[in-house]
Amino acid sequence: MNRASKIFWPMLVKPKDAVIKQTEQLSRSQKLLTELGLIKSGSNGTYQIMPIAQRSLDKCINLVQQNMVEAGGQKITLPVLTSTALWKKSGRLEGDISEFYMVRDRSGKQFLMSPTHEEAVTAMLATAAPISYRQLPLRLYQIGPKFRDELKSRFGMMRAKEFLMKDMYTFDLSQETAKDTYDIITKAYDRFFQQLEVPFVKVNAETGIMGGSLSHEYHYISSVGEDTLVKCESCGFAGNAEVFHQSSNCPNCQKADNLSQVHGVEVAHTFLLGDKYSKPLGATFLNTSGKPQSLIMGCYGIGLSRVLAASLEVLSTDQELRWPKLLAPYDVCVIGPKQGSKEQTLAERVEYNLLEHLGDICGSDEVLHDDRKDLTIGKRLLDGKRLGHPFIIVAGAKSVLPEDPRLELHSSDGNKMELNLNEALQMVNQYVSQKKHLINIRMSTKEEEQTNRQQKVGHTL
């Protein structure tokens, strides 16, 4: 059982009459996460993640991994440092590299603190033993830090210099099978964002420095978003304004004068790359004739720390955090009587009985026991509401009434109910069932058939 008194939770305490000078524009999520002690600024553009927020981030990681494995992904780990020689071969070192961190080792060799790993993973494939067409498609993913020297790092983890990313790199034998892979992985991305239940848009995008022939971005709509999107009010089609800046008609339904502009926070990006990297870096496979042929690539990124911050930005109020169901650090917080109160002895029996039942329903790791009994129930309840626990259940004076004992249940949507024990447990049980339903969203039959077809291609060619 998680005990609030033992959690490292360095909340900012402001004197009542203090006047705080604001030196920069803060996003809602950045302000709340910092004030509540869930993140701390390490330096300009970097953040230290405290235990409660780390729980949420770990849940995000696990959910992404579930989707990547279901889509045929295999997990790897690549070094943070990538030789600049590889970026010279791909031609990307000749472009704008002002956002990249460069370091040298003691012998003078230069490396990038990788903002992305296309060159590194392609070079790894190029130096591996000859790959047979029977081994394709390959879908390799990793989860780790990325680095970009943002000119204007702001809005907390939504635009940081160091961030956590899931990046996948896929290798196919033809443009056709690479497009099948692209469809499978983007469907897995669709599923992941649907599981989070945060409204998102998937837009056509420019390929930019990454290159390739096809690209999509996933955005959360927010006033602090730095991308301008064009959205059709008739059919729901959306695109990056950079792509459709000259268009007055919807490219999808062709209706005129029905396009509106909104701001988006980019949380994921997918690319169909072709042989842009495999050709210059010599990554090949042996075809049915036993001859080497360039691998056809795709790459797929999700900014995990950005997803966490941006989802809170969209869902939260100005004063209280709101979490996606599957990312909430805890399902329920239990608050018992204050130390020394007249109902303490009897109410604590109710409190510990409640904790035992909740452990059976949620699993004890999903329950937070706010055992800081030197604080009033009101103070602990205020902290719990600001932290955005899906449910807070209070075992106070009303829980020991002889005729009709009641627990006080507060839900994160602002509702307050007085329920008996069984009714409160039923509410939590329904919530846990909803979470299980979201976790168990699977690939459609069509996607499964597409995956099976690709696997058969590798064995029958």
Q: Give all domains of the chain, ordered by start, each with its CATH number.
A: 51-315 (3.30.930.10), 330-438 (3.40.50.800)
- Say if pTM beats, i.e. exceeds, 0.75: yes
pLDDT in tens for each of the 461 residues of the chain? 899 999 999 998 776 666 656 556 689 999 999 999 999 999 888 999 999 999 999 999 999 999 999 999 999 999 999 999 999 999 999 878 889 999 999 999 999 999 999 999 999 999 997 899 999 999 999 999 999 998 878 888 988 999 999 999 999 999 999 999 999 999 999 999 999 999 999 988 776 655 566 899 999 999 888 888 888 888 877 788 877 766 778 878 888 777 888 899 999 999 999 999 999 999 999 999 999 999 999 999 999 999 999 999 999 999 999 999 999 999 999 999 999 999 999 999 999 999 999 999 999 999 999 999 999 999 999 999 999 999 999 999 999 999 999 999 999 999 999 999 999 999 999 999 999 999 998 644 444 545 555 444 443 33
Q: What is the pLDDT of residue 412?
A: 96
Q: What is the pLDDT of residue 460?
A: 39
Nearest Cα neighbor of 244 from 258, 226, 234 is 258
Q: What is the pLDDT of residue 461?
A: 39
Q: Which two tokens stand for residue 276?
A: 């842009």
